[in-house]
Amino acid sequence: MATAERTRLSQDDVDLIRTTAARLQANIQRVIVGNDEVVRLVLVALLTEGHILLEDVPGTGKTTLARSIAKSLDCTFRRIQFTPDLMPSDITGINYYNQKLGEFVFREGPLIAQVVLADEINRATPRTQAALLEAMEERQLTVEGVTVRLPRPFLVLATQNPVELEGTFPLPEAQLDRFLLRLKLGYPDEESEDQILERFESANPLEDLEPVIEADELVRLAHALRNLHVDPSVRRYAVQLVRATREDPAFELGASPRASLALFRAARALAAVSGRDFVLPDDVKMLAPYVLPHRLILSTQARLRGRGVDELLAEILARVPVPIER
């Protein structure tokens, strides 16, 4: 009987999550012009303590977005410029012998922060990329046998340029699977670009940005979110979507159970951000194009036919039946 009892997310917490998300979005958009949907999805990632892969050309505001998030949360922020000569110890830290103290001391690397911008992550060697795996999944680092817990919240915002491939190392599937969402900012429209010039004409609004929530409160809300109700039929719908990618011959590699968890958790966060204490099938359907594509590998036949991951996923979303309330 004990396992059947479960505390429902209170309406007060739902309202707090919704109002907090609205305040965070308004604060971030004092700096970021447009991209309402991207900012909303970033808030979903924050509430699930998930990581984000920003895939776009240079100059579209990826670094500015990361810094705006860090300042809005009053979080520690570090930017790591990934290059081919970057070593794992350059980001995790090292144990060095302190002659004054007569003992080994751990010197923290830039990865020990609450918001980490991994800029051009695909320019680092696979060995350095792998140094992020433990941190992203287990929120800890192990350096020469010493385990260091990472602060919470811990969010990795990684960027990569999808156009320039010379001197890059594609991210391995194991690492891609650890990103909750893959987002694209894209170029602004004419009106938004004019607003950017006007906003940054005389000052940088990022410098005056004030935090709207403390990191501890965000962690508490993320923990409370685990009690948001999900109907079994909606949960099964998320599972069916993920399983459909494994059964489709167009994919050589379908989405993993980690993808099912990611889709499930992100849907709960989206529901709360929308002010609901329950998840709709539409929440799952809306998030699938951001949660699943980077976890899928096309078959040779699909590539030869010129099929794309996004196109094939849209077909799966169209054919998997959506649960209907009886």
Domain with residue 63: its CATH number is 3.40.50.300
Mean pLDDT of the chain: 86
Residues 232 and 177 in one domain: no
| pLDDT for the residue 51 | 93
| pLDDT for the residue 321 | 92
CA distance linking residue 287 with residue 17, whole number of Å: 19
Residue ending a domain, among 180, 214, 248, is 214
- 17 found inside a domain: no
Looking at the 3D structure of the chain, how many domains does it have?
2
| pLDDT for the residue 291 | 95
Residues 140 and 75 in one domain: yes
242 residue type, one letter: V
Q: How far is CA 51 from CA 12, 47, 156, 157, in A?
A: 27, 11, 5, 6
The arithmetic mean of pLDDT across residues 45-58, rounded, is 87
Residues 153 and 276 in one domain: no
Give the number of other CB atoms < 10 A from CB of residue 156: 24
pLDDT for residue 3 is more than 50: no
Residues 190 and 303 in one domain: no
| pLDDT for the residue 263 | 95
pLDDT in tens, 86-145: 988 889 888 777 777 777 777 888 899 888 988 888 888 888 888 888 888 888 888 877
CA distance linking residue 178 with residue 159, whole number of Å: 14
Residues 166 and 247 in one domain: no
CA distance linking residue 128 with residue 72, whole number of Å: 29
Instruction: Kindly give the residue spans of alpha helices, DSSP state H, lying in the chain.
Output: 11-28, 36-48, 62-72, 88-92, 126-138, 173-176, 190-199, 215-224, 232-247, 257-273, 281-291, 300-304, 309-319
- 91 found inside a domain: yes
Q: % helix / strand / coil in the chain, to the nearest 5?
A: 50, 15, 35
Residue ending a domain, among 181, 214, 247, is 214
| pLDDT for the residue 209 | 84
Residues 312 and 261 in one domain: yes
**Are 8 and 224 spatial neighbours (Cβ–Cβ below 8 Å)?**
no
Tokens at residue 287, please? 């998030």
Residues 152 and 34 in one domain: yes
Question: pTM, whole model, 2 decimals?
Answer: 0.86
| pLDDT for the residue 1 | 36
For β-strands 146-149 and 140-143, DSSP reports them as antiparallel
Residues 176 and 291 in one domain: no
CA distance linking residue 53 with residue 159, whole number of Å: 6
- 242 found inside a domain: yes
Residues 172 and 132 in one domain: yes
192 residue type, one letter: S
- Calculate the CA dihedral of residues 29, 266, 311, 122 and round it to 10 degrees: 70
- 31 found inside a domain: yes
Which has more confidence, 271 or 107? 271
98 lies in which domain range?
24-214
The arithmetic mean of pLDDT across residues 224-242, rounded, is 91
pLDDT in tens, 15-38: 888 888 888 888 888 888 877 888
Q: Which has the minimum average pLDDT: 89-98, 156-165, 273-282?
A: 156-165
CA distance linking residue 288 with residue 266, whole number of Å: 10
| pLDDT for the residue 285 | 94
Q: Which has the minimum average pLDDT: 16-30, 54-68, 170-184, 220-234?
A: 54-68
Tokens at residue 43, please? 């808030």
- 152 found inside a domain: yes
Residue ending a domain, among 214, 246, 276, is 214
Residues 85 and 129 in one domain: yes
Reduce the DSSP state of residue 317 to 3 states and report it: helix
CA distance linking residue 155 with residue 48, whole number of Å: 10
- 209 found inside a domain: yes
Q: Which has the minimum average pLDDT: 33-47, 152-166, 288-302?
A: 152-166
CA distance linking residue 41 with residue 323, whole number of Å: 24
pLDDT in tens, 243-265: 999 999 989 888 999 999 999 99
Residues 191 and 250 in one domain: no
Which value, in Å, is the radius of gyration of the alpha carbons in the chain?
Answer: 21
pLDDT band for position 4 (50/70/90)?
very low
Which has more confidence, 4 or 198? 198
| pLDDT for the residue 164 | 63
Q: Among residues of the chain, what percentage have pLDDT more than 90?
A: 24
- 11 found inside a domain: no
- 325 found inside a domain: no
pLDDT for residue 72 is more than 50: yes
Residues 78 and 176 in one domain: yes
CATH of the domain at 308: 1.10.8.80
Tokens at residue 134, please? 């433990």
